[in-house]
Every structure is written in C-alpha cells, then in structure tokens.
Structure 1
C-alpha cells in the first residue's frame, strides 16, 4: 500500500472516529425520563471562561448536569450555571412587551393589510402554567384578544431561540478538549408491545416484540446511539410535562436481518441497545422490532373464580352467614407460557402490552382476540395473562348450606359450582375457590380432587365434555377455637 493511500486511510478513519465520538447518546427509561450525553468542544484559557450551549432539552433537570473531561486530564470547575428554557415565542415576546405599545397587522375582508397600535396590558403568557386571555388596549378601550398579528421589535439581547445552558468554567491551565455533557431530562420515554399470532386451532404462537420511543423533550437528536433501560428504577416523580402537540409516528426498519437489539443485565435492571443510530425528532414516536419468536407453546386456559369479587381472606373471623354468595359468572380465557429457550423465548421481557390474534383459516386473515399487560418478566419465568371472557363456557356458583352462629365454635359451608360447556369440543376449566372465613379450615366433603394453591385457596381441575355440564361440590369446616 502506498504512502499516499496510507495517509488517506488514516484521514478517513480519523473522520469516522471523530463522527462516532461526537455522536449523541441516550439512555431512555420506561418511567418517562432519559439520560442524555453529548460532546461539547471547549477552548479554555487559564482562569474563568464563559461558555454557552444552545441545544439542551426543554425539560432538562438543571441540577443533574455533569460537565467533565472524559479522559480525566483536565480538571474542570463549573463556577456558575444558568439554564433557560423560555425560548422566544409569541407568548414570551408579548410578556416582554407588557406595558408597551406595539403594532398589530390586520387584514380586512379584501385581504388589504394595515396596522393598528395597541398597548399590551397583559400578555396572557404563564411559563409552565395555564395560559389566560391577553388584554390589549386599543384607542382607549380594552379587548381580551389580539387585534391582529403582533409585530415585535428586534429580538431582545438576552432572548434565546433554543433551551440554553450557560456556564462560567474555571481551569488552572489553558486547555482544548471535547468535554462530555450529561444530564437527566423528562419528555423521553419508551415502552414495549408484543403481537402474538396463533392459528385458528392450536396453542402455537408467533411473537413479535416492538419498542416504541417517544420524544417530547423539545429537542431533535440527530444520529443518536440509543439504549433502553428496563426495570423499576427509583425516581422522584417529575412535575407535569408541558402540553403535547401533534405527534409524528415513524416505523424504523432494521438495517439488516443480522442487526438486532442486544440485551444484558445491568445493575438490578436490563439494558437494551438498538443496533443502529437513529434520529429522534421532537414530538416524534419511533418504533423498532426488538425480538421475534416462532412456535411458542401457549395453551389456552379457562378459569372460573366465582368468588373473585370478594373472596379473599381479610385476616379475621368472618362469621356473617350472608357473606359467601356468587360474585362472578364469567369464565376467564387466559394464555400461559414459559419465557424459556426451550419454548423459543428466553429473553428478559420488558413490561408492555400483549395483543393476541388468531388466523382465520377461511381467508387467512388475522383477527384480534384480546390483550393484556405484561410486567417485567425475567428469563425462565411463567407468564399467565387474561385475554377475555369465554362466550360458550359459563360458570355458576351457589352456596347450598351454612351451619354456624356466634355461639358455636365452628362453621360449615357447602358450595355447588357448575360449569357449562356449549362448545363442540371438550374444555378443561380450573375452578378457583377462596376459603376466606378463617385461617383454620379443612375440606370435609368433596366431589372431585383439588389442589391447595396457598393457605386460603384451593383449585379443582375439571374436564367438561362438549355441550354438557360439570358440577363440583365441597364442604368446608372452619374451627373458631
């Protein structure tokens, strides 16, 4: 390779390295905030230096700002910092001209233009608060609206067009460096969503996971490296965000089939890194596919919990005989699957919405069949979510007997649970019963075997043939002593 080619190659690599070095970086949390990191070129003389950075977000937490030399060679001291987010707008300029007369451009019905002079009594602008109607004095009369388009004098000397950080920086020796600016900001958030598609019959699912990044921060991030932090990070709730405007939505395609979101455990959370740099415009929502799985086994489960509306143990004796009638008639439809490699998954899944679809064999189109919320789910954990209520499977629960009063040291209670299956195929239903009256109980009579799920819950697992009814009965005895 020639000397000239070597020089050109080194120059090219230097340009690439410089570009990567200057690339902004974001770590977005699913609690509505982000950490922003940018490179700021500084040319400092010995002593005190004034520097302005016009490019921060409109929701920056000013006391979170860190300005440092990433190489650790220059000891920067930020002697003073100011942050201004009151960027120039019609409301701000009206506020700056309160008490003064300005011109207003008026167009009549023939599109002829002329000016009207009016004194700004009240601008109506309230930074971060609810706006009110402006008050303008025209010809000695007050009006609660603008008489036309305001024509302002030149921009004030201290006006800013973008949210701006101003520093006074002290250094002992002259230095020229690329400093790292890092801060926490509101207005950036992300969430995940999962689309699960099943055939018309069967329990196999195809799963596609999306992440959606939403930028309402007031700043455009060009060609940014983006990471997404999943987990419940302890963060003091921010003040109410500014009102949103129109949101632009964009689907981001993958650069190639080999480019994939990478994941790793980080502290007590999980960190997902997007495979390519993205541009996030202000008020834009951007989406990227982050996982795909085929052949996930997720059987449909029918659950009848006839006492779900009230049937939980409350820590004391419940002797009231009127407490114990049916509270729910619906049979829940649920999906259950394990987040494991053996089940074609095995990736820590951030919380988000699960949408279920089934493919109609008649025309090959998919139909929406329910949705639920997924919490943060670690690898190898079981997922069980409700997708809706059964149409053709009906539950009924009645109490057939109660023997107990305040003078007895026990109570006995009998229940009859009926499950009717109007489908053309058999179904298996989990009948959940809550033993809520006292913590000292035993089943003294039963029609079917049950499983004790916890200290106050039992479960009958019954199969109901097509177009038939299954009846389960049991008697529970509570000992008060």
Structure 2
C-alpha cells in the first residue's frame, strides 16, 4: 500500500507530538528581548475578542479592527495574536490601548510543512521510519538515523548506514514509497504553525486591559448586484444585494461589516506582500453595531450592514443592502439607422432609464454592479429578460440600460441614391408585429460627406428661426399607419425622430435630401 508522507496519520501524529505549541511560544518569546530582561509571552486567541469591525474595499482590501481583552503584566512582554489573516499587510498593523507602549512588531510568514521542515533541516540529522518492504524485516518497521543532504520534487537524498554494510551509503528515496515517518529534533525559528503576529509591548500595568488590533489585509472582496422586477413599462421594484467574500483561511464571526464604495489610492507593490505605510492606515472608533445605513466618508460612500454577520473562511455571503418599490422608469425603443447604408431586419434596442432621485422612488447611492431584470408572464411566473452592469450611481444621477432587443419591432432601410453630388434618396420601412401600439425612436446618424478631400458630418436635424427642431430631409409616408410625434437633436449630431406605430402594422416612408454644395 502506498503511503503519502505529507498527509499520513502516522506522520501527522508524529509532528503533533514533536512540535507542541510551547516550542513555538518559546521561539517567539526569545525574539530580540534586551539582555538581562526576559519578556513574558501572552497568547491572545479569538476567544478574547470583544468587538470586531470589518471594512471591505473594492479591489480585495479589508480593514480589520479587532478589539480584544488581554492580561498584561508590568514590564516587557510579547503578545502573540492568533486568528489574524495570513494575507495581513504586516506593516499596516496598529495596536491601540492605554498603559503600554509598543516596542516592535513581528510577523512570521513561513508556515510549518513537511517540505519546509525538510529544507530547513538540510545538512542536519533526521530520523526516518522506512518502509519494511524495502528495508529490514517485512513484518516490522525499520528506523534509521541519517544526514539529510537535499530535498527536491518529493525525493530526498540522505547519507546513512544500512545494516549489513560497513560504510555509509548515499540513498535517493521517494517519500511516497519509502518513508513512513520522519522525525525532526526541533522547529526552526523561522517556521510557525500558523501565520504568527507577535507585538512586543512594555506595560505599566498588571491586569486585563482592552486593546484594539487594527490591520489591513488582502483576500477579501465585495460587489453589488440588483434585482429589478418590472411591474409595468413605467415602474419596477428594486432589491440591492451585496456579495461579501472572505477568501482567507480565517473565519471572522459576529463582525460589524461596512462597505466603502469608491476607489482608494494604494501604493504600487514592490514585492510579494503589498505594503502600505501604517501612518496612512485609516482609524475608526470601535463602537456597538448600529442599524444599517449609509454615510459620507470624505469623498466616499460608507455603507453599514445591519447587525452582526458571520463570515466564515473561504465563504461568500449575500446580504440585502436596500429595497425600493414602485420606482419610476422610462422605457424606450431605439433604432440607430444610417440612411446612407442599406439595413435589413434591424431589431429595436430596448432601453430603460433609471433616475436616482427621491421623486422617482430611489434617492439612495447605488454602488456599481450587475442589475438583472425580470418580468412576470401571464401566469405570474418571473422571467429573466436581461442584465446590464451599471456604474456607481449617486443621487441625482441617471443611467440608461440596454437590456436587449425587441422581437416585434424592427426596421429596413433601402438606400436608392447617395452620390458625390450629395443626393440622398431611399425608403425606410418600420414594422410593429405586436398587438399594441409602439413608439420607436429612430436615431438618424449624421451623413459623412466628402468635399474637396475633406469629410464633413451633416446632421439631419436643424433648428428653425423660432428654435424648433425640424428635419432637413423630406420624409413622406408611403404606406401603413404611423405618425411622427417628435423630432429632437441628440448628441454627436444624431437626429431623433419618434414615430408611433399602430398595432400589427408595417409603415414605410420615402426620404430625399440634397446637401448644399456651398454649405
């Protein structure tokens, strides 16, 4: 039977026996203590936690404010904090409290593993229990003391004496097959059972005192998403959700969670672990968790989620941010058409305009995210009809979402003439196959006309003397039932012609325009 040394019960038990936590504590407590002055070791676990604030930033960053109670002794001591995230940005760490002075901070990234232990013991003596099928008796274990020469790709090179031989031999062994257990003499000082944060303080007091451990950490994230249920073509119900992500191996339970919307500046990383100056680390008072809400934090928006939230290790969780009913919207159908080119079966874009005001039923800052639209069918079942990604939408801002293309509203354009003299002639056909009247916004693109080796953009709308927007071209009905209800000038020279189509109809127009050569 093949034994995997890295995960076998025997190896796990051996490591657990040989490496008690006391050895790690002794290694930490001996770090850089002044001569003649022994530092006490205080181990603070998550059970000492009294308050936990977690602020999540867009881009994977989190600010963790961990309020604990620790039992300090007068003099110099190392506080070993368990339960910090492996992705901690170590030089952002702050420890606040009264009655003590912070002298130094140490963070150990190197974790205990079989490979790390082997590499740390290269050139040293180790003890191995070799598989009896290959060494010694097949009915019992075979132990050997050997010098570890090197380790590479799951194989070790050792120097040892095998019974029955006079001299030491050099053996290359595959850990998967030959070694049932490996025993080491001690834990190297640079290895830790878990990511270890140790803060050395000099205390003036004896007894339990509250401290606030604050640090920045990578490995987190949040984003917003929205569920928009269309009630009619004029209103919808809107639910906002936030997805919280803890990609670290550390659970953060009973946390007051806040979300900062906006882009904060971060220094460019110089090496693997991104650093930020600790003086720039934001500090916020740790207080009882309030009801959820939103506030301005300088130029950013800070959302506080209601209550306390458990965010387990490697977990994503969705929490409701807000809900609004009967939000007013504007629905439109647009057909962008270039009359100088033929177009066949152009489906109308379906657009929904959302205005973030209290008058429209909103008035709440909306973080960027995906908005999904649903509409009930005749039986009342909710059906998905499209999704868009919206930008950050503050109060008094608006956003028009393209959620799809209409099946029953389309256009055909046939360009009959468009020449160097500037003559434009053609036929435009609009089709409404729905059983209800539809208003389509035809977005006539400006003509691109070449004159004297120079191109000009000619808008198809013009402003009359009484400031009325009219068409430059002649647009004559040629069949069907449709009415031009409005003409307006849009941005970039686009001319919008709003046409109301009767139910189940096909309407056509002849158009003609000649560019003024002297224009």
TM-score, normalised by the number of residues in structure 2: 0.66
The equivalences for 1:232-251 within 5 A come to: 232-236=263-267
Deviation at 1:286, TM superposition (A): 1.6
User: Counterparts in 2 of 1:47-446, with a 5 A limit?
Assistant: 49-69=77-97, 76-78=101-103, 80-98=104-122, 103=128, 121-122=150-151, 133-137=153-157, 140-141=171-172, 143=174, 151-153=182-184, 156=187, 158=189, 159-169=191-201, 177-199=209-231, 202-236=233-267, 261-306=292-337, 329-362=346-379, 364-404=380-420, 417-435=428-446, 437=448, 441-443=458-460, 444-446=472-474
SS in 1 for 2:62: strand
Structure 2 residue 52 is the aligned partner of structure 1 residue 24: yes
Shift of 1:104: 6.8
**1:256 maps to which residue?**
none
Counterparts of 1:106 and 1:459, CA distance in 2:
83
1:450 aligns to what? Answer: 487
Deviation at 1:477, TM superposition (A): 4.2
Q: Distance in 1 between matches of 2:443 and 2:342?
A: 15
Higher mean C-alpha displacement, 88-97 vs 379-388: 88-97
Quote how far apart the aligned CAs of 1:92 are. Answer: 3.4
CA contact (8 A) 2:459 2:493 kept: no
Residues in 2 aligned to 1:359 and 1:106: alpha-carbon distance in whole angstroms: 68
- Measured in 2, the distance between the counterparts of 1:293 and 1:209 equals 9
Distance 1:87-1:445 versus aligned 2 partners, 3 A rule: same
Q: How far apart in 1 are the matches of 2:216 and 2:122? A: 34
Asked if 1:462 is matched to 2:499, the reply is yes
Determine helix, strand or coil for the equivalent of 1:404: coil
In 2, the alpha carbon distance for the partners of 1:373 and 1:169 equals: 49
SS in 1 for 2:332: strand
Aligned-pair CA distance for 1:222:
2.4
SS at match of 1:342: coil
The whole-number CA distance in structure 1 between the counterparts of 2:49 and 2:61 is: 24
Conserved in 2, the CA contact under 8 Å of 1:355 and 1:370?
yes
Provide closer, same or farther for how the CA distance between residues 325 and 114 of structure 1 changes in structure 2, counting only shifts above 3 A. farther
**Aligned residue number for residue 408 of structure 1:** none
Cα displacement string for residues 455-476 of structure 1 (whole angstroms, at most 9, x for unaligned residues) = 4322222222233234464648
Give the secondary-structure state (helix, strand or coil) at the position aligned to 1:92.
helix
Q: 1:144 to 1:114 in 2, by over 3 A?
A: closer
Q: Is the 8 A contact 2:256 2:308 kept in 1?
A: yes
Give unmatched runs, 5+ long, in structure 1: 1-18, 124-132, 242-258, 312-322, 406-410
The Cα of 1:450 is off from its aligned counterpart by 3.0
- Contact 2:291–2:306, Cα closer than 8 Å, also in 1: yes
Structure 1 residues 424, 225: CA separation in 2 closer, same or farther (over 3 Å shift)? same
Deviations 1:318-352 (A, max 9, x none): xxxxx966599342222223222233222111111
User: Is the partner of 1:376 in helix, strand or coil?
Assistant: coil
3-state SS of 2:490 partner: strand
Task: Note closer, same or farther for the CA distance 1:391–1:39 as it changes in structure 2 (3 Å cut).
Answer: same
1:475 and 1:288 map into 2 onto residues whose CA distance is: 57
CA contact (8 A) 2:409 2:433 kept: yes
Q: What is the CA-CA distance between 1:39 and the residue it aligns to?
A: 2.6
Query: CA offsets per residue over residues 380-431 of structure 1, 9 Å max, x none?
Result: 32232122222222233454433338xxxxx565675543222222222222
- TM-score, with normalisation over the residues of structure 1? 0.71
C-alpha offsets along residues 356-375 of structure 1, whole Å, 9 cap, x if unaligned?
1122232x321211111121
**How many pairs are equivalent?**
408
Per the alignment, in what secondary structure is the counterpart of residue 219 of structure 1? coil
SS of residue paired to 1:361: coil
Cα 1:425–1:63 change in 2 (3 A) is same
Residues 446, 457 of structure 2: 8 Å contact kept: no
Greater gyration radius = 2
Residue 16 of structure 2 is matched in structure 1 by none
Q: Structure 2: where are the runs of 5+ without partners?
A: 1-46, 134-138, 159-169, 274-289, 449-454, 461-471, 476-483
CA 1:300–1:151 in structure 2 vs 1: closer, same or farther (change >3 Å)? farther
CA distance in 2, matches of 1:204, 1:235: 41
Superposition deviation, residue 279 in structure 1: 1.9
Relative to 1, partners in 2 of residues 1:143 and 1:286: Cα closer, same or farther, differing over 3 Å? same
User: Is the Cα contact below 8 Å between 1:303 and 1:429 reproduced in 2?
Assistant: yes
CA distance in 2 between partners of 1:288 and 1:218 (Å): 21
- Is the 2:410–2:432 Cα contact (8 Å) retained in structure 1? yes
